[in-house]
Amino acid sequence: MEAGKQLRIEETPIPGFLRIDLTVHADNRGWFKENWQREKMMALGLPNLGPVQNNISFNDEVGVTRGIHAEPWDKYISVATGRVFGAWVDLREGPSFGAVYSCEIDPSVAVYVPKGVGNAYQTLEPNTAYTYLVNAHWSPEVSYTFLNLADETVAIDWPIPLDQAIQSDKDKGHPRLADVKPFAVACAPAKKVLVTGANGQLGRELMRQLPEAGFAADGVDLPDFDISNAEQMAGVDWAGYEVIINAAAWTNVDGAETAEGRPAAWKANAGGPANLARAASAQGITLVHISSEYTFDGTKNPHTEAEPPSPLGVYGQSKAGGDAAIVSTPKHYLVRTSWVVGDGKNFVRTMAGLAEKGISPSVVSDQVGRLTFTTDLAAGIIHLLSTGAEYGTYNLSNEGPETSWQQVAARVFELTGHDPSQVSPISTEEYFAGKQVAARPLNSTMDLTKIEATGFVPATADQRLREYLQEYLR
């Protein structure tokens, strides 16, 4: 074992397979190492593993040989004590199928093994503890891809010849490379997702898109599933879920200002997310939570993810309370959005209905922002999950120039074949004069730089508006 090495990560001939040199501090008492350090290693290029299980294989003798097994999850492998010879073969379909890499693993070395890469090792010292982190729970229903340890094509140079090694009969019976069916990403079990608020505009779109993206989804909603009921949430069997997407919320902005609405909003928008955050933290589940631009007072333009909350009313305050609970969860995506339009009652449908009836509305012209169509909101959430983007807060709306509600309404009139000048501008103050309503942020425009840096660029709001109205008018 080489003590004192600098932490570093190097690529190998197998795409995505990484070797990690670990820093080991040793003296006359023994040694110490940071075996896995998420922040430092991700900064050097290690993917966001998100481990959910830690396994240890203890081996009494020299020459214990196990493999070659390709599993449908990623692994981070090291040894706690002892030394092994590790060998890996790319069994994924594609041009790198059959690529081989091998090295010795002692306490100063670790490796990152992407799913579908065959893994094997042979102990070089007695009393070796081989340990690995995985990012999916083991299940007896999971199928593996196997390769024979003695395959002549990959020709692994085992330090201890296999006829002298300790092997299982099962491993001896694995096929040669020519008979191996390549591991396909589709062979991996679908990640199980629980969608709360599944009957809402976003929930319905998530339930449509998740299966198309390879996720298995369960949708729940009131009255059967109440996230604000702590007792009910404590009784849920969370073991089968890897992801929770919380699309449930109290969205009656003005109703939240009433004596009855205030506690109801806080219960749903803060208490409910707190219950989900506790469950996600305890079970190692990734939690996606939908937030709102109402957590801001609308004085910044645009709003960034780093902006501190400054809500004007009870609805925004309750959403900010829920956000605070969510960010305490290690594996979370807080997705802040605005002006949502999807399958259900919304502003665009209301304006289209008024246009059809020949009604000329007055619409506020001093509140600006961007529409967010659930098509892109759901797709952006799935993108974060599928790519393993860094956990944290992301703004997500449609792209394009900011517009006022009055401009949106006029555009709806125009696209539905009506005179846009029928939509009259009015200030927020004038519109709500004499009414007991919640204060609204005047600016809802959000900075999309962070999510676009992950590779997801939403369509423009105007493009989606045209498509939405074409569907609506069928």
Q: Encode the chain (474 residues) as per-residue pLDDT tens digits.
A: 788 889 999 999 999 999 999 999 999 999 999 999 988 998 898 987 878 899 999 999 999 999 999 998 999 999 999 999 999 999 999 999 999 999 999 999 999 999 999 999 999 999 999 999 998 887 777 778 999 999 999 999 999 999 999 999 999 999 999 999 998 754 455 569 999 999 999 999 999 999 999 898 999 999 999 999 999 998 898 877 999 999 999 999 999 999 999 999 999 999 999 999 999 998 889 999 999 999 999 999 999 999 999 999 999 999 999 999 999 999 999 999 999 999 989 999 999 999 999 999 999 999 999 999 999 999 999 999 999 899 999 999 999 999 999 999 999 999 999 999 999 999 999 999 988 899 999 999 999 999 999 999 999 999 999 999 998 776
Q: What are phi and psi of 422, to 5 degrees?
A: -70, -15
Report whether 247 contacts 344 (CB < 8 A). no
Closest of 336, 232, 212, 339 to residue 276, by C-alpha: 232
Instruction: Report the C-alpha gap between 395 and 293 in whole angstroms.
Output: 9
CA distance 435 to 307: 30
* Domain 192-472 classification at class level: alpha beta
Q: Which of 40, 48, 69, 49 is nearest to 57 (CA)?
A: 69
Q: Write the class of the CATH domain 8-187.
A: mainly beta
Q: What is the DSSP letter of 269?
A: I
Q: Domain residues of the chain, as ranges?
A: 8-187, 192-472
Handedness of CA 362, 317, 273, 326 (dihedral sign): positive
Quick one: pLDDT at residue 6? Answer: 93
414 exposed, middle or buried (CB, 10 Å; 0-12, 13-18, 19+)?
Answer: middle
- Spot the catalytic one: 121, 130, 132, 468: 132
**DSSP state letter for 249:** -
Length of the chain measured in residues: 474
- The candidate with the shortest Cα–Cα distance to 248, out of 302, 174, 319, 169, is 319
Kindly tell me the number of DSSP H helices and DSSP E strands found in the chain: 13, 25
Calculate helix-pair angle for 461-472, 347-357, nearest 10 degrees: 50
pLDDT score of 190: 59
HSE of 278, CA atoms in CB hemisphere, 13 A: 14
pLDDT given at position 185? 53
Task: For strands 53-59 and 128-134, give the pairing.
Answer: antiparallel
Q: What's the pLDDT at 186?
A: 45
Same-fold call for 8-187 versus 192-472: no
Cα distances (Å, whole numbers) of residue 364 to 18, 342, 435: 55, 21, 15
Sign of CA dihedral 326, 332, 338, 342: negative
Strand, helix or coil at 192? Answer: strand
132 has catalytic annotation: yes
Q: Residue written as tokens 């125009």? A: 414
Catalytic annotation present for 174: no
First to last CA, the chain: 70
**DSSP string spanning 377-402?**
HHHHHHHHHHHTPPSEEEE---BS--
d(CA 461, CA 152): 57
CA distance 357 to 184: 54
**Phi then psi for 200, rounded to 5 degrees?**
-85, 180
Q: Give the residue ranges of DSSP H helices in 44-175.
A: 169-172
